[in-house]
């Protein structure tokens, strides 16, 4: 039988023979410290050609895998996002229901502003989930909701926090100026700090506040504990200053787009 | 299957070779997600799963990976895995995916993943690599949970969002929640205290 190779695990000495030596000639380690080196075909992992080929193959395989996963799951994800958007809108109205889809189509009408003041119905099959793009296309949505006989208006808002996008929905009473409820969410704010805008405790602070008066949008988020005008101002989140400022800016800019409709 | 070496790969990261306190990896995410207990647990579980999976994949590929681009290959494997998992969750478990969306970036860039891939999976068989991944993930989760426990308890006076210290009798005795606890530097100080405690109890870890 051909000679085998044994490697000492202590010092790396390589011994050739039928069995491991009793003691390593370099470091005197016993035979048990030797492991057999199996002859294996080594791939040319150092060569340029191999590196390029490997990188190319890897990119193609991963790209194919990701696009396959993404496109095969797209329809299901879109349906989930739509359902989630409806749930968020209902949450701003303090409605939590098991079948959000059915409740939504029964009680909520998706409308868009026409000539800044009038509302026209928006087809339900086109239900949008990205209100930033809708705003850029001059489609300002208002969700008109029938809540136990009362009319509520829900306005989508969007902006930027510290790390990424933040968005929300502001529900107004039928006087179009008193806040009935809010919902805020975020893509990647810091957990425990900025991410607290998603907590019910923060969202409840907006209830009963006034949006503004004839001079413009006045509702604002101020530094925690610095509320001077309780009619318009809401406590921010300590430690989440930039996110709080983001919510403030988001409310001012998005609700500003509706000022004519709201003051009518 | 459960030789001494495998056991070591699994158990030492929980104690004497903890990824956070001894290898000092994954500190940045330890600051980011430990203001509350719940996100810390979610992050710990996610990192454990992804470390184990990517360790197995890299360990299977280890003999074919070109040496000069091995870090890029590791990064691509991790990023692809995390993306696929989050896409699948988005389609089949939307609520969980929303919860995890904040962590996706933090998981991909977590240095525990790269550290374990480079130090362990590149040299070892898939099964020990899997155990090493689980062990390091749990070791990381352990530290996150300890840090988050103190930060949430003394910073917000709650645990899992449930009120613990915010009562009139406590406030009446002169206790106020410490806002500094919620700030990232406090996580560093708590981690440092854990390292101090651990080194004081284990002479092996002390630098000569």
pLDDT tens-digit map of A71-85: 999 989 888 888 888
Which of the two residues, A40 and A123, has the higher pLDDT score?
A: A123
Closest CA to B26 of B51, B49, B9, B8: B51
A96 CB-near residues (< 8 Å, 6+ apart):
A90
A95 to each of A111, A152, A181, how far by Cα in Å? Answer: 20, 12, 10
Beta-strand ranges (E) seen in chain A are 4-8, 14-17, 34-37, 108-114, 118-121, 141-147, 150-160, 165-172, 179-186, 212-213, 216-217, 220-222, 233-235
Contact B63 A43 (CB under 8 A): yes
CATH 2.20.28.10 fits A4-37, yes or no: yes
The pLDDT, as a whole number, for residue A245 is 92
Which of the two residues, B48 and B163, has the higher pLDDT score?
A: B48
> In 3-state terms, what secondary structure has residue A263?
helix
Contact B98 A84 (CB under 8 A): yes
Contact A45 B65 (CB under 8 A): yes
Domain ranges of chain A: 4-37, 80-263
State the average pLDDT over residues A147-157. Answer: 89
* Residue tagged 């362990």 (tokens): B120
Mean residue pLDDT of chain A comes to 85
State the average pLDDT over residues B126-149. Answer: 89
Contact A73 B88 (CB under 8 A): yes
Per-residue pLDDT of B87-98, as tens digits, reads: 888 888 887 787
Q: Supply the DSSP string of A25-54, one letter for each residue.
A: TTT--BGGGEEEE---PPP-TT-HHHHHHH
The pLDDT, as a whole number, for residue A41 is 63
The pLDDT, as a whole number, for residue B201 is 84
The pLDDT, as a whole number, for residue A106 is 86
In angstroms, rounded to a whole number, what is the distance separating the alpha carbons of residues B174 and B176?
7
The pLDDT, as a whole number, for residue A184 is 93
Q: What is the DSSP letter of B173?
A: T
Contact B91 A77 (CB under 8 A): yes
Domain ranges of chain B: 4-205
Q: What is the DSSP letter of B182?
A: G
Which of the two residues, A241 and B12, has the higher pLDDT score?
A: A241
In angstroms, rounded to a whole number, what is the distance separating the alpha carbons of residues A199 and B118?
40
The pLDDT, as a whole number, for residue A69 is 92
Contact B88 A43 (CB under 8 A): no
Q: Looking at the complex, report in whole angstroms how far the Cα of residue A249 sits from the nearest Cα belonging to chain B.
A: 22
Taking the CA atoms of chain B, what radius of gyration do you get in angstroms? 19
The pLDDT, as a whole number, for residue B157 is 79
> In 3-state terms, what secondary structure has residue A106?
helix
B191 CB-near residues (< 8 Å, 6+ apart):
B20, B21, B27, B30, B143, B147
Q: Looking at the complex, report in whole angstroms how far the Cα of residue B200 sits from the nearest Cα belonging to chain A.
A: 30
- Mutation site, A192, A202, A242, interface B, largest B CB count within 10 A: A192
Question: Nearest CB to B32: which of A83, A190, A239?
Answer: A190
Beta bridge partners of A119: A113
Contact A188 B87 (CB under 8 A): no
**Phi, psi of A72, rounded to the nearest 5 degrees:** -75, -20
Nearest CA in chain A to B74: A58
- Mutation site, B4, B73, B81, B102, interface A, largest A CB count within 10 A: B102
Structure tokens belonging to residue A181: 């409820």
Nearest CA in chain B to A57: B73
Beta-strand ranges (E) seen in A161-247 are 165-172, 179-186, 212-213, 216-217, 220-222, 233-235
The number of C-alpha atoms within 13 Å of A126 and in the hemisphere containing its C-beta is 10
Contact A54 B73 (CB under 8 A): yes
Cβ contacts (< 8 Å) between A66 and chain B: which residues?
A: 80, 83-84
Per-residue pLDDT of B152-205, as tens digits, reads: 888 877 888 777 777 777 777 777 777 788 788 888 899 889 888 888 888 777
The pLDDT, as a whole number, for residue A2 is 55
Share of chain B above pLDDT 90, in %: 5
Question: Nearest CB to A66: which of B34, B80, B94?
Answer: B80
Beta bridge partners of A146: A151
Taking the CA atoms of chain A, what radius of gyration do you get in angstroms? 31
pTM of the model: 0.68
Contact A58 B73 (CB under 8 A): yes
Residue B208 pLDDT level (bands cut at 50, 70, 90): low
Share of chain A above pLDDT 90, in %: 22
Spell out which chain B residues touch chain A, with contact meaning CB-CB distance below 8 angstroms: 32-36, 39, 63-69, 72-73, 76, 80, 83-84, 87-88, 90-92, 94, 98, 101-102, 105, 151-152, 155-156, 179, 182-183
Structure tokens belonging to residue A37: 């080196």
Q: Model ipTM?
A: 0.70
Evaluate whether B10 touches B139 at the Cβ level (below 8 Å): no
Please state, as a whole number, how many other Cβ atoms lie within 10 Å of the Cβ of residue A107.
Answer: 18
Question: Nearest CB to A73: which of B67, B91, B98?
Answer: B91
Nearest CA in chain B to A195: B102
**Phi, psi of B199, rounded to the nearest 5 degrees:** -70, -35
The pLDDT, as a whole number, for residue A64 is 95
State the average pLDDT over residues B54-68. Answer: 88
């Amino acid at each position: 039988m051909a000679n085998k190779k044994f490697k000492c695990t202590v010092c790396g000495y390589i011994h050739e023979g039928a069995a491991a030596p009793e003691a390593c000639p370099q470091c005197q380690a016993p035979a048990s410290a030797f492991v057999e080196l199996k002859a294996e075909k080594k791939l040319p992992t150092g060569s340029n050609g191999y590196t390029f080929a490997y990188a190319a193959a890897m990119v193609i395989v991963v790209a194919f895998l990701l696009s396959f996963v993404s496109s095969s799951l797209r329809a299901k994800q879109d349906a989930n996002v739509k359902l989630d958007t409806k749930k968020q809108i209902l949450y701003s109205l303090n409605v939590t229901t098991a079948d959000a889809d059915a409740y939504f189509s029964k009680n909520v009408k998706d409308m868009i502003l026409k000539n800044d003041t009038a509302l026209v119905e928006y087809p339900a099959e086109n239900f949008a989930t990205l209100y930033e793009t809708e705003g850029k296309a001059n489609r300002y949505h208002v969700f008109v909701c029938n809540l136990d006989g009362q009319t509520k208006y829900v306005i989508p808002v969007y902006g930027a926090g510290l790390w990424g996008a933040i968005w929300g929905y502001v529900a107004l009473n039928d006087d179009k100026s008193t806040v009935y409820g809010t919902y805020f969410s975020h893509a990647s704010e810091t957990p425990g700090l900025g991410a607290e805008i998603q907590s019910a405790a923060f969202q409840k602070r907006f209830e009963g506040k006034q949006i503004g008066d004839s001079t413009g949008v006045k509702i604002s988020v101020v530094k925690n504990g610095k509320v001077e005008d309780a009619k318009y101002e809401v406590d921010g989140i300590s430690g989440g200053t930039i996110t709080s400022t983001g919510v403030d800016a988001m409310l001012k800019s998005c609700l500003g787009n509706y000022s004519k409709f709201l003051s009518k | 299957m459960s030789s001494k070496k495998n056991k070591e790969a699994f158990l030492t990261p929980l104690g004497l070779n903890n990824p956070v306190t001894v290898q000092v990896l994954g500190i940045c995410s330890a600051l980011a997600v430990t203001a509350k207990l719940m996100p810390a647990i979610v992050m710990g579980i996610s990192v454990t799963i992804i470390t184990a999976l990517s360790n197995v994949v890299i360990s299977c590929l280890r003999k074919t990976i070109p040496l000069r681009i091995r870090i890029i290959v590791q990064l691509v494997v991790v990023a692809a895995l995390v993306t696929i998992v989050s896409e699948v969750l988005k389609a089949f478990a939307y609520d969980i995916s929303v919860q995890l969306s904040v962590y996706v970036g933090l998981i991909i860039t977590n240095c525990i993943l790269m550290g374990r891939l480079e130090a362990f999976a590149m040299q070892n068989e898939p099964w020990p690599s899997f155990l090493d991944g689980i062990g390091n993930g749990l070791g990381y989760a352990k530290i996150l949970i300890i840090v988050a426990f103190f930060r949430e308890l003394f910073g917000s006076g709650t645990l899992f969002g449930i009120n613990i210290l915010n009562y009139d009798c406590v406030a009446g005795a002169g206790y106020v929640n410490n806002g500094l606890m919620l700030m990232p530097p406090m996580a560093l100080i708590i981690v440092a205290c854990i390292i101090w405690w651990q080194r004081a109890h284990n002479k092996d870890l002390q630098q000569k």
